[in-house]
Chains A and B, each alone.
Chain A
Amino acid sequence: MSVVASGMARPRRAPPIPLLLFAGSLILYIAVALWTGQTSQLETDGWVGLLQRMVALGIVAVGQTFVILCGSIDLSVANLISVGAVGASFIMQGDASMIAPAVAVVLAISIVVGAINGAIIAKLNVNPFIATLGVGLVLQGLLSASFTNFAGSVPPAFQAFAYGALGPVPYSVLGLFALALLAWWALRTTKFGAHLYAVGGNAEGARLAGVRTDLVVIGAHVVCSVLAGVTGLYLASRLRSGAPWVGREGVYDLESIAVVVIGGTLLAGGRGGVWGTLAGVLLFATLDATFNMLGVPPYPKLILRGAIVILAVAAYAVRSREHVA
């Protein structure tokens, strides 16, 4: 009387999305470099430059992956990045001894912002879109009221974060990949990771199974906000100072969401992962680099980017429809 799994073959799975995106991006990059005759782009410096383009967006997007996986979203990251960048350079004021306190303050602010985002969503049951939009506006308001331009500067020692390198590879690139590895490990092997997928897949089901869904959502938002804070620190280091518009100018809120979704994570949560996100970031960096090589002016660039985001997500929709029997 066993309920037997029948002999039916499980639906076959298409090759993993991250791999396709990685390969596609690299092929595109190499093809454009060869076609435009800019073979110097295929030497070490070119590759390093390509990877360096990934860093800022990559760090935020890893955080965004966590919140989207649990079925939430964070629109406050861009403004929190500005807060982090300005906060760091304002506190440091070019003084190397202030590096540690500045970093500590930025991370503390980020944790608080993440906890607030998560609590509004999980405890007050506010839609995450609205909750984080609101928190983002408050952050931007506070920041713009206090600063109008580049505030303070970071000491040379801190610039090593963005400009230092191990051999040819910048620390920041190594850091990004280490972060991705850590995030992958956490999602895959920790209880927190398993519960993140559970809450995103079926929040009520997870709650009935005994998962503290509220804590999971808050945790995901803290992770995301901390990584936004780290991105702010990185931008301060790279720009040598922080201005209240750096996050907005990078459109990190929408772009981080776009790369997560391009990477195959469901916007509704429950499925996806950090390698897909990183592949999405690589695709964006490749587009930037190839558009530069091709000399595409900025506005057509935006149009192409928009079209690619839509195409990528439509491709998933078609793909998943094929699975429906």
Chain B
Amino acid sequence: MTTSALALEMRDICKSFPGVRALDGVSFDCAAGEVHAICGENGAGKSTLIKVLGGVYSPDSGQILIGDVERLFARPADARKAGVSIIHQELSLLPHRTVAQNVFLGLEPTRFGVLDRAAIRAGTVRLLKRLSSTLDPDARASDLSVAEQQVVEIAKALAFDARILVMDEPTAALDGRDAQRLLALVRSLRLQGVAIVYISHRMSELAEIADRISVMKDGRKVFTGPAAELPTSRIVRLMVGRELAQFYPPRSQAPAGAPVLEVASAGNRVLADIDLTLSAGEIVGVAGLEGSGKTELARALFGDLPFERGTLSIAGVQKELRSPRAAILEGVGYLPNDRKREGLALQRSSRDNVLLTLRAFAFALGRAKGAGMADAAADELLRQLDVRAAGFDQEIKLLSGGNQQKVIVGRWLVRDPRILIFCEPTRGIDIATKAAIYRIMRNLASRGRAILLVSSDLPEIVGVSDRILVMRGGRIVGGCDGGASEEAVMALAVGHQVETDAGEGANIGVAS
């Protein structure tokens, strides 16, 4: 099926970490001008494989051939020189430096020992042009949107004449429309003869873009085949090892209960004219593009970026939520956008993390263990949530993203708030854990809790919510019923010009 020469071949790669066999004889190849996707659950070994290819880890055994020549990479610089560029899952731009400085980081051309800034700038302009981007090479990285930063990452990857480009979940942080543009970019790079290794959890993307798909499970490659012959259901079965009975839990048939949260003509620096009602027993989805204000809405409701105008009532009583602590006391819970940065005490155990909020409201000089929940009870909760760890006293940073997210869910379960806000709850999480989190959300709702789901993942919004609100420019611009088509939600999010004009409106700013 691949007639062109292999740009990359990895043979029998093995890599172990203390206690874990992360890669067990994995072979993988990719031809020039091919998109070869890798999927697998978190912890299946995808990232380790990529890090071996990029010279971050050296393999215990096995060979890496680049264009039929065997290579050994001692450090990332070696891999880059050999034409392998990796866009890692976490964006790694320098926030205070310009686009051009970022693009040429690590391979700055010099003249007479001095940086050749003209060449750096010209090179950046050329690369951006190749990516059909009109970004300003002198703009500071911190001023760019996530989608724009992603473009800079790609330019950076191509700067050293990359023949092999590895993208680790490049669309995870993008909303639908920006993700589409990125996919178009990947296609054009493929036409230019770049070998592309593409990792993603988004099944629809794989069908759209991949030539071949490999599935990894537990450190082994369990399947490689042409994408065209591989329906999504089969990929999922290969990844999970079983059929997922029902990905999205069924909606409740009972009508929503009494309103628990009512917001009227509220606003702040970013938001304006926010009117919304959240009732017991329902899951309300909030959709919107990057910069639409949906994250800010969640933070406003949690008191982290408080409303400055309008009224907010909880269970019919007017309240002012000036801080997260005040919001928690009123029965609001919040699962943050960025698990690692805002959600977890990374060096603490699962047990400590699950008890964090509970302890925050316990008597300061009381014994930590006496904060209303014993270790045994915490462990029982973690077991119920099916958190998989070597032990619940293990540092949480060693757990997979899905398990970390379950611990954060558990943190709120122990307080049992009336209102729970989930922000991007399944970003970068494998498919089985996603399903588990949706089930937890639905269970909470059926027990009379009100749930707000803020997400950039359209299928998730449409599949899980009872009702959908769409935001644009800091306002709620419309609503749909649960189960509405993704196109309908997107049309609202971009303001009606969904098919007609692809060149505008992607980076809708806060001021619309």
Q: How far is the CB of B157 from chain A (nearest CB, A)?
A: 10
Asked if A197 lies at the interface with its beta carbon under 8 angstroms from chain B, I say yes
Contacts A2-B132, A206-B105, A211-B106; A198 near B97 (Cβ below 8 A): yes
A210 partner, pick from B107, B135, B182, beta carbons under 8 A: B107
Evaluate contact between A190 and B114: CB separation under 8 angstroms: yes
Report the stretch among B313-321, B381-389, B503-511 that lies at the interface: B503-511
Evaluate contact between B139 and A208: CB separation under 8 angstroms: no
A residues less than 8 Å from B507 (CB atoms): 3-6, 8
Q: How far is the CB of A4 from chain B (nearest CB, A)?
A: 5
Q: Is the interface of B mostly helix, strand, loop or mixed?
A: loop
Q: Which residue among A197, A209, A271 has the maximum number of chain B CB atoms within 10 Å of its CB? A: A209
Q: How far is the CB of A240 from chain B (nearest CB, A)?
A: 39
A5 partner, pick from B139, B150, B502, beta carbons under 8 A: B139
Evaluate contact between B96 and A270: CB separation under 8 angstroms: yes
Evaluate contact between A198 and B94: CB separation under 8 angstroms: yes
Q: How far is the CB of A160 from chain B (nearest CB, A)?
A: 32
Asked if B136 lies at the interface with its beta carbon under 8 angstroms from chain A, I say yes
Evaluate contact between B80 and A3: CB separation under 8 angstroms: no
B residues less than 8 Å from A212 (CB atoms): 75, 77
Contacts A4-B503, A8-B509, A197-B97; A205 near B133 (Cβ below 8 A): no
**Residue-wise interface mask of A (265-308) relative to B, using a CB-CB cutoff of 8 A (1 in contact, 0 not):** 01000110000000000000000000000000000000000000
**Residue-wise interface mask of B (136-157) relative to A, using a CB-CB cutoff of 8 A (1 in contact, 0 not):** 1001100111011011000010
Of all chain A residues, the one with the shortest Cβ separation from B180 is A1
Of all chain B residues, the one with the shortest Cβ separation from A8 is B509
Asked if A166 lies at the interface with its beta carbon under 8 angstroms from chain B, I say no
The CA-CA distance from A198 to B270 in the complex, in Å, is: 32
The CA-CA distance from A217 to B504 in the complex, in Å, is: 44
Evaluate contact between A190 and B113: CB separation under 8 angstroms: yes
The CA-CA distance from A1 to B75 in the complex, in Å, is: 35
Asked if B86 lies at the interface with its beta carbon under 8 angstroms from chain A, I say yes
The CA-CA distance from A294 to B134 in the complex, in Å, is: 57
A residues less than 8 Å from B101 (CB atoms): 194, 197
The CA-CA distance from A85 to B139 in the complex, in Å, is: 46
Evaluate contact between A194 and B80: CB separation under 8 angstroms: no
The CA-CA distance from A5 to B178 in the complex, in Å, is: 12
The CA-CA distance from A189 to B115 in the complex, in Å, is: 5
A residues less than 8 Å from B140 (CB atoms): 10
The CA-CA distance from A3 to B139 in the complex, in Å, is: 15
Question: How many residues on chain A are close to B (CB under 8 Å)?
Answer: 33
Q: How far is the CB of B294 from chain A (nearest CB, A)?
A: 14
A residues less than 8 Å from B502 (CB atoms): 1
Of all chain B residues, the one with the shortest Cβ separation from A269 is B96
Asked if B401 lies at the interface with its beta carbon under 8 angstroms from chain A, I say no
The CA-CA distance from A234 to B113 in the complex, in Å, is: 30
Asked if B181 lies at the interface with its beta carbon under 8 angstroms from chain A, I say yes
The CA-CA distance from A270 to B97 in the complex, in Å, is: 8
Q: Which of A204-260 contact B (CB under 8 A)?
A: 204-212
B181 partner, pick from A3, A189, A197, beta carbons under 8 A: A3
A residues less than 8 Å from B113 (CB atoms): 190
Evaluate contact between B106 and A210: CB separation under 8 angstroms: yes
Of all chain A residues, the one with the shortest Cβ separation from B142 is A323
Contacts A202-B92, A207-B76; A3 near B135 (Cβ below 8 A): yes
Residues of A near any B CB (own CB < 8 A): 1-8, 10-11, 189-191, 193-195, 197-198, 201-202, 204-212, 266, 270-271, 325
Nearest 6 pairs of A and B residues by beta carbon: A205-B92, A210-B77, A201-B94, A210-B106, A209-B106, A6-B507
What are 6 A-B contacts defined by CB distance under 8 Å? Answer: A1-B181, A3-B151, A5-B135, A197-B97, A198-B105, A202-B95
Given contacts A8-B507, A206-B106, 4 further A-B contacts (CB under 8 A): A3-B133, A3-B151, A5-B144, A212-B77
